[in-house]
Structure 1
Amino acid sequence: MKIDVLTLFPRMFEGPLTESIIGKAIERQLLDVTVMNFRDFSENKHRNVDDYPYGGGAGMLLTAQPIFGALDTIQAENPETKKRVILLDPAGVPFTQSVAEELAEEEHLVFICGHYEGYDERIRSLVTDEVSLGDYVLTGGELGAMVMIDATVRLLPEVLGNEESAKTDSHSTGLLEHPQYTRPADYRGMKVPDVLLSGNHKKIAEWQEKESLRRTYFRRPDMLEQLELTKEQKNWLAEIKSEEC
């Protein structure tokens, strides 16, 4: 995968792109990331990238020209690849695991990190997606881009050591992940559930699924509204609810 990031603060990406899973993916040439300061594309003699909005209003807007210039360069360098251009914007669709899964199928992603009060509306003509990290406002789009890149890259083939890890993550199955344990089996009187020590893989799988359902019911019941439960899951959920009585 090729990723380009347009930002006014390239140094913010130095840590996240050199450490952990993303850093290793770049080292193994599974991922190619270029961080570009779009101020370098400004044709203004002062290299300004913002200006006051027509009609008045608070704050400054990012001007269209530097962003258009940066994307022209990206297109010229990679004319053959189809690009998904993502605008980080509080008014965008919420970022979710399903969005990350969709982006992970793409060959080339471009993230535009905004700053100041907003964008010149003409910038939106360049983008394929407008995405928000959540219902709050950050100083700029950089942190949002880092989160989206991390969530997307870990889904790429061969990036994680165990391919099954991403498939069973919370939100990937529609449920939160079940509780997990490691050695020792008894720590300060807190014991690992017997079923996990039984070696009975069918019973273990059933326990894990039921505990995922339990955790989702108590912590994120809204997720269950979006999920079509099997008959067995419905029975388990009824048992879980009866335990509250």
Structure 2
Amino acid sequence: MRASGISGLPRRFPIATPRAMTHPERPHRNFYGRIRGKTLKKSQKAYLSEDLAPLSPGAVDWDENPEREPLDLDALFGGKPVWLEVGFGGGEHLVHQAASNPETGIIGAEPYINGVAMLLGKIRRAGVENLAIHPGDARDLMDVLPDNSIARAFLLYPDPWPKTRHHRRRFVTQEHLEPLARVLQPGAIFRVATDIADYVRQTLEEVPKAGFEWLAERPQDWRVAWDDWIPTRYEQKALREGRVPHYLTFRKI
């Protein structure tokens, strides 16, 4: 029997009308960072084997969707507004937002399998039903998100890649921001949190080039967390080590 999702709908849905009949060329994409960490617990292995597939947003990977046909988000979430979190870490923020916004569907992308397993445990405990999970590269997910389909996006404490020669690996480059801008609706909010000063600098330089405006009007706007914010484990570690979080809010023009 197929797993059920939101409002009793199947969690694997047909993809929407093809963008084109031609087979697109698969881009060469280097992936940097960890995919797996320490040995998974028995319970985490069970979460991955039992819970992950029913939470799929649909055909994202190239092997199952070589034509890169867009996902049907209306079928996935029943017409609800859809949000996106790029790199959800252990999933604290993702589950918090899902529980606080039951009338919103949220998709999370994270290649680190240990983080995915931690998220699945949190989903079980919280009982939220408005999430979809892509356990892989957010770039592959953005390939198949329809134009103007996402109402809000989050990039929270991304890998800072501190060495200058590695700055091109950061998410806040045009290679990543342009696809994000394509899938975000006009007026959509894009939140970025980081504790790395140089990442703040690059974010403020690059994000406006992709068609966003920074909404800060005074220092408090980036020094104080959002009203619906929940501190993550990473942020708590950063504070203990003396680093200063910055909370940047942009709007898609």
- TM-score after normalising by structure 2: 0.27
Higher helix share: 1
* Structure of higher CA gyration radius: 1
- TM-score after normalising by structure 1: 0.27
